[in-house]
A and B are shown apart, each in its own frame.
Chain A
Amino acid sequence: MVALLRYAAVILVIGVLWKIASVALGNMILPDPLDAMGAFLSAMGTAGFWKHFAASAWRVVAAMALAWGIAFPLGLLMGSVRRLDAMLAPFVFLTYPIPKIVLLPVFLLILGLGDSSKIAMISLILGYQILVTTRDGVRAIHPKYFDSVRSLGGSRWNLVTEVLVPAALPHGFTSLRLGTGVAVAVLFFVESFATTSGLGYIIMDAWGAMDYIRMFTGILGMSLLGAVLYEAANLLEKRLCRWMFLRKKS
């Protein structure tokens, strides 16, 4: 409820700034916020909009799931198995600063123009962040927690399930939540050519046709998608790592 009010307040402020900018620039370039909003709302009543929205949502959600499914376990392994880390860390950290997005043409050549190359691109970029954050998070786990479980006679498997995974989860979820912004940005990029579906396609198509009202329908749709993903990741984190968000009642 509070979150909704906060969103409403932010939308209001942005709307006012937008209005000022559209008056200043002339509403050929920047349409009136009420017009754009009206067009967006009426588009939300059409199946066509939701088809594009669903195409985009599928790509980004599949990519996030794929990135999480590979990068989180790999981060756990790298953070806890020294020998593996010594082998893999140089690869990860030397390639970390390379902008992965430049590999998109390679992905398109290998995986084709369909969804798989788009999903792979997004999950590669997101996966790097999850991998590095999780690995560093695991290395920062205080040894006393492992001692605590070992002292009870706990097995290696107990250490994994009672310490490693629960201690690393918040790091993994935080990087997932912060990664939603990057994921949607990459989504826009991979949807801006070689496809005829998705919100990124709407934006670029309308831009080419100088239909700025429709362009903003795409832009607002992307914003909605980003906000929903962020909140979903946030909720998941709060749910599964509840202990992180409690304060001492004094």
Chain B
Amino acid sequence: MLRAEALEKRFGAEAVLNNVSFSLGEEETIAVVGPSGCGKTTLLYMLCGLSAPSAGQVLLDGKPVNGPRSDISIILQDYGLLPWKTVLDNVALGLKVQGVGRRKRLQRAEAVLDELGIAAKAGDYPGTLSGGQQQRVAIARAFVTRPRLMLLDEPFSSLDAMTREKMQGIMLNVWSRRRVPSVLVTHSLEEAVTLGRKILVLGGSPATPVACFDNPGFGDPDLKTTDAGFAMLRDIRKTLEERW
């Protein structure tokens, strides 16, 4: 359903990404791993139309993505919540820009907050929430519009280890119910192995895909403690070490 074709991004003379191609099927997730600064955020910005590729194109259901659109949701690196809006209004914002009426959008926002177990915070402002709570609000905000495609930029990297595991569980839970095709960017290999049906490894400078792993065991929080999970992690590490 999603195809990235020979994507390239330059900022002035600096080439950040080169020849990035991959595809994503229905009910699939792909985890993109690579070190900080290699261009992961840049890639997601191109996938959702926030930034135009210098070359190549993004196709969603066969049609090019030319700009931001409401059927692609992105969870930005630091959640992207607006501090001057309450949790409920933040979650409802995607529906508001679509022109959904106030009552309807607040109802839908409340339902998603409820699903994520954070309805009690609906009237609070994001600045008063913990990192894990903000993360849940951001997930609610992204799902409320029932997107066709979900993009996640290092969603759990600023959380402590315990909260991160819990959030991964919550994410898997929500995802298993909706099965929205998702692209997840992360610098944590374990997270990639837990959440990615495919794992795309970026390497080199400018960064380009150096390997793509098939990970049929994804979606199991305990995978990383099994032999298959260990083997997967080892293979990815080896690829990264060779290329960096």
Find out whether the CB atom of A151 lies under 8 angstroms from the CB atom of B68.
Answer: yes
Taking CB atoms and an 8 Å cut-off, the chain B residues in 71-89 that contact chain A are 72-74, 76, 78, 80-85
Find out whether the CB atom of B94 lies under 8 angstroms from the CB atom of A247.
Answer: no
Taking a contact as CB atoms closer than 8 A, the residue among B80, B97, B125, B130 that contacts A147 in the complex is B80
Segment with Cβ contacts to B, from A34-42, A82-90, A162-170, A179-187: A162-170
Find out whether the CB atom of A166 lies under 8 angstroms from the CB atom of B78.
Answer: no
Q: Assuming A144-B78, A153-B97, is B128 touching A246 (CB within 8 A)?
A: yes
B70 lies within 8 A of chain A by Cβ:
yes
Kindly state the separation between the CA atoms of A241 and B70 in the bound complex, as whole angstroms: 28
B127 lies within 8 A of chain A by Cβ:
yes
Q: Assuming A148-B80, A153-B69, A153-B70, is B93 touching A162 (CB within 8 A)?
A: yes
Best-buried of A152, A167, A243 by chain B (most CB within 10 Å): A152
Find out whether the CB atom of A145 lies under 8 angstroms from the CB atom of B82.
Answer: yes
Taking CB atoms and an 8 Å cut-off, the chain B residues in 143-183 that contact chain A are 145
Which B residue sits closest to A166, measured CB to CB? B84
Interface size class, chain B: 20 to 34
Q: Assuming A148-B76, A150-B68, A248-B127, is B48 touching A163 (CB within 8 A)?
A: no
Taking a contact as CB atoms closer than 8 A, the residue among A147, A154, A243, A248 that contacts B84 in the complex is A243
Find out whether the CB atom of B127 lies under 8 angstroms from the CB atom of A246.
Answer: yes
Best-buried of B78, B81, B85, B93 by chain A (most CB within 10 Å): B93
Which B residue sits closest to A154, measured CB to CB? B97
Kindly state the separation between the CA atoms of A221 and B128 in the bound complex, as whole angstroms: 41
B212 lies within 8 A of chain A by Cβ:
no
In whole Å, how far is A200's beta carbon from the nearest beta carbon of chain B?
39
Find out whether the CB atom of B128 lies under 8 angstroms from the CB atom of A152.
Answer: no
Number of A-B contacts (CB under 8 A): 70
Q: Assuming A151-B76, A153-B97, is B128 touching A248 (CB within 8 A)?
A: yes
Residues of A within 8 A of B (CB-CB), count: 23
Contact bitstring B114-146, A, C-beta under 8 A = 1, else 0: 000000000001011110000000000000010
Which chain A positions have C-beta within 8 A of B98? 153
Find out whether the CB atom of B82 lies under 8 angstroms from the CB atom of A152.
Answer: no
A155 lies within 8 A of chain B by Cβ:
yes
Find out whether the CB atom of A241 lies under 8 angstroms from the CB atom of B84.
Answer: yes
In whole Å, how far is B82's beta carbon from the nearest beta carbon of chain A?
6
Which chain B positions have C-beta within 8 A of A166? 82, 84-85
B50 lies within 8 A of chain A by Cβ:
yes
Q: Assuming A144-B78, A243-B125, A243-B127, is B93 touching A149 (CB within 8 A)?
A: yes
A239 lies within 8 A of chain B by Cβ:
no
Which chain B positions have C-beta within 8 A of A153? 68-70, 94, 97-98
Additional A-B contact list (6), CB under 8 Å, known A144-B78, A147-B80, A151-B50: A151-B73, A152-B68, A152-B70, A152-B73, A153-B94, A162-B85
The 3 closest A-B pairs by CB, nearest first: A148-B80, A153-B70, A166-B84
22 A-B residue pairs with Cβ-Cβ distance under 8 Å, sorted by A, are A148-B80, A150-B50, A150-B68, A151-B68, A151-B72, A152-B94, A152-B97, A152-B145, A153-B68, A153-B69, A153-B97, A154-B93, A154-B97, A155-B97, A162-B82, A166-B84, A167-B84, A246-B127, A246-B128, A247-B127, A248-B127, A248-B129
